[in-house]
Structure 1
Amino acid sequence: MLFTYASIPSRSSLMVALVSVFLFLPFLLFPSQMLEAQSTTASADDRVQDLYAEAKAAQASGDLNGAIAKYESILQISPRLGAAYNNLGSLYLKQHEYRKAAAVLERGLKIDPAMSSASALLGISLYEMGEYASARPRLEAALRANPKDNDAELLLANALIKMGELEAATVHLQQLAHREPKDQEVWYLLGGAYMKLAEQALGKLNEIDPNSVLMHEVSGEVMESMKNFDGALIEYKKAVEMAPQRPGTHYKLGSTYWSLSMWDAATQQFEAELANDPNNCTAQWKIGNILLEQHLDPQLAVTDIDKALAICPTLMPARGDRGRALMRLDRNEEAVKDLQAAETADPSDPSIHFLLAQAYRALGRAQDAKAEMQVFTKLEESARAATAQRAQQVLQNKENPPQE
């Protein structure tokens, strides 16, 4: 009979289950030609096959210690049988006997360095022992043998993160994200790695000059992301004072005013930004947006928004606002085209569906208007349900704080 080494199986979606995926590698019968290569006798060959069958039966019944004893007996008869080391190491790994697993697997790889499964198992063992630098080359070897092995690549990325090799980790995580775009854990790890890299970069920026324009802008961005708009205004104002001609400083300050609905102050900053950077299409669009929010001349809003779209044709928020302005001018046919483009770019935005429903109704397209209102209602209900669920979770956390 001819049997082959088992390949590493596909990984589960959770890191917690990753190690167990490797632990349940199928146990292998051993090629008779391998035994012949070791010049064993026919009786030894038969004895090895019997022991293997007994080991497999013991493992199936949950008697791991019995299975381990059988493999140890096999290796006493055929000490150069690489597959036996692979399977014995797998059993030790299943029992969380990582040092024993590593020792056995290293011996097996000396006999058969091409065993990618043993290399991966050894990488797991070393990782669990906290020996990340030693685990790295073993996992890299497993990955070279099977470049699409998501298990080995994920564990390698984790090892690199533990070692502080963040840039190398992001390369592997990007590859995983490309192959598994819906894997949340991969995106979580990738985001965490980028956050750490960002922290390092910002730490270096602060070390060079803690009072620089860039530091004030970064501090403003951090506060803005936390909805601390008052703090963001202070930092952005400092940046504007230090570098009033620098592209971006007025825009960041204006955008914060815009978030606070401080329309006049925002417009002043956006105009100053356009004097520094005439190609800042977002600043140009927001000037038009402010005209709409203030219910001023919609034709002036269209003019500003058209300027923004001439620079950035794919700026979909501007496309939506253009449709809104055209509706106020009773140019509903034109408005529909802009709103459809905005809807295609972001079908999850309920406001666009609502505007489309209004435009269709004005054009006498009752069925289309009804369909858009149905989508709008569904999105609004989903948003309310999600908000209610988050609020309930917050209340539950307050009522049941974690035990220390």
Structure 2
Amino acid sequence: MEFSRKVWVGLLLASALGQSVMFSQTADAGHYAEQGQAALASGHLDEAQRNFEQLRSMQPNVAEVHAILGRIYYQERKFNQAAVELKAALKLKPTLPKVHTLLAISLSEMSDYRPAIPGLEDCFQHSAQGAEKQMCGLQLERAYTGLKLDQKAVEVALQMDKLYPDDPEVLYHSSQIYGNMAYQAVRRMNVVAPNSPWRYLAAAEVNESQGATAAAIQQYRQVLEIDPHRPGIHYRIGRTLLAEARRSGAQQEQSEALTEFLAELAIDSTNANAAYEAGEIYRSTSDYPNAEKYFQIAIDCYPDFDDALIGLAAVYLAEEKAQPAVAALRKAISVDPSNEVSWYRLSQAERSLGDAGEQSKAMTEFRRLHQARLSSPSSALQAEQSEVTKQKVDEEAGR
């Protein structure tokens, strides 16, 4: 694990070299200490190793010499030798700062996980230094995974995600841990319940997440063969078909998706997402009466459904009903003031009513939010991960 290796181990050097006066008991010892420290400072590890090995032979009972030599071996990825020196340092002086942590990390790198865990746990839970804490967290994930303590690995990954939400290395290792946990659960499901609808549902979701539309739909339909009235399945089929329709531009798949959303509502009339998607498809084909009907169903099920409110307002605007459009958009803005689409459509509605002042206010807020969104790399990801089709502004609106 490569994270911040040079940065972090520098902490040990700063701590251990505070005792360097102890190296100067003889001229030769002082010479090797000085040369070794200079070599370390310039990044010449081979030379530093030779000098501190000479110093160790001259002063074998100085804990700091073993600690620094262990740090050098660690940086050279000689983890077995690093562990030997770090243990020797701790035997001579158990209070040496950072050495317990570096020993735990070295043991983890050697795949000697069980003795590594106490030191890694202590470091991760109590260290106030970001680089050290992050390194220990990553190594703790590795140790728990290596010992098949998957639940503990997941718990650490969840904490790491909160501490370092934008760190790519943390995100990578978290994805590996979550994926392994999911794989183990599905594998167990295949053994204990090979014909369970839950098995087919899990397989369908995996295929859907990977863009394997046909395979996902096949698995979802197998769930329905076992349990034809299971809520949520027609909606998921419709969602998968809709995603494929967006990729291919095929109207047939959008029509098939609509059929699935309506089938879902026949089973579960309270599925606001299915009603919303039906309304949005009807709106995209200019069938405004049905669009209004299904957007309203979604809002009746979930009054704070901002995308449904925005969609309903778009229908009202298309039907030249500006006043109810303003009411729907004001409600959407009260739910989520940061949604730029609400403000853009509100400016259109206010213009239709001839209120230039309110139109200008809405357009000003839209432009502010639009620029903020363009500057935020996470906004596109959030839209991509949305459970439903997000409302959008006209393409020329942000220009």
TM-score between both structures, scaled by the size of structure 2: 0.73
Which of these residues, 96, 102, 107, is aligned with residue 126 of structure 1?
107
- SS of the counterpart of 2:77? coil
Give the whole-Å Cα distance in 2 for the aligned partners of 1:166 and 1:334: 51
Which residue of structure 1 aligns with residue 2 of structure 2? Answer: 16
Report the CA distance between 1:257 and its aligned residue: 4.7
Which residue of structure 2 aligns with residue 286 of structure 1? Answer: 277
Q: Is the 8 A contact 2:35 2:48 kept in 1?
A: yes
Instruction: Classify 1:244/1:326 alpha carbon distance in 2 versus 1 (closer, same or farther; 3 Å).
Output: same
Letter of the structure 2 residue corresponding to residue 273 of structure 1: E
Report the CA distance between 1:243 and its aligned residue: 0.8
Which residue of structure 2 aligns with residue 88 of structure 1? Answer: 69
Which residue of structure 2 aligns with residue 336 of structure 1? Answer: 329
Structure 2 counterparts to residues 120-159 of structure 1, below 5 A? 120-146=101-127, 149-159=133-143
Q: Is the 8 A contact 2:347 2:362 kept in 1?
A: yes
Which of these residues, 155, 161, 164, is aligned with residue 180 of structure 1?
164
Structure 2 counterparts to residues 387-398 of structure 1, below 5 A? none
Which residue of structure 2 aligns with residue 273 of structure 1? Answer: 264
2:92 is the alignment partner of 1:111: yes
Report the CA distance between 1:89 and its aligned residue: 0.8
Which of these residues, 324, 334, 340, is aligned with residue 314 of structure 2?
324
Which of these residues, 73, 77, 80, is aligned with residue 99 of structure 1?
80
CA RMSD of aligned residues (A): 4.0
**Higher deviation after alignment, 276-285 or 171-180:** 276-285
Q: Is the 8 A contact 1:339 1:356 kept in 2?
A: no
Q: Deviations over 1:59-96 (max 9, x none)?
A: 33555455445544555565443333211211222333
Q: Is the 8 A contact 2:307 2:332 kept in 1?
A: no
Identity %: 26
Give the whole-Å Cα distance in 1 for the aligned partners of 2:160 and 2:375: 34
**Higher deviation after alignment, 151-160 or 86-95:** 151-160
Structure 1: tracts of 5 or more residues without a match:
1-14, 387-404
Give the whole-Å Cα distance in 2 for the aligned partners of 1:137 and 1:382: 40
Q: Is the 8 A contact 1:340 1:356 kept in 2?
A: no
Q: Deviations over 1:232-280 (max 9, x none)?
A: 3333333223212222233223434555455665455444434543432
Q: Deviations over 1:114-152 (max 9, x none)?
A: 445112222333333343444334423433552662222
Which residue of structure 1 aligns with residue 224 of structure 2? Answer: 240
Instruction: Classify 1:96/1:290 alpha carbon distance in 2 versus 1 (closer, same or farther; 3 Å).
Output: closer
Letter of the structure 1 residue corresponding to residue 137 of structure 2: E
Give the whole-Å Cα distance in 1 for the aligned partners of 2:97 and 2:313: 59
2:287 is the alignment partner of 1:296: yes
Q: Is the 8 A contact 1:120 1:138 kept in 2?
A: yes
Give the whole-Å Cα distance in 2 for the aligned partners of 1:71 and 1:363: 83
Q: Is the 8 A contact 1:243 1:249 kept in 2?
A: no
Report the CA distance between 1:293 and its aligned residue: 2.8
Which residue of structure 1 aligns with residue 37 of structure 2? Answer: 56
TM-score between both structures, scaled by the size of structure 1: 0.72
Q: Deviations over 1:135-172 (max 9, x none)?
A: 33442343355266222222222333344433222222
> How many residues are paired up?
359
- SS of the counterpart of 1:16? coil
Give the whole-Å Cα distance in 2 for the aligned partners of 1:369 and 1:31: 66
Q: Is the 8 A contact 1:116 1:141 kept in 2?
A: no
Q: Deviations over 1:279-335 (max 9, x none)?
A: 32212323333332332244x544533442343344333232122223233334224
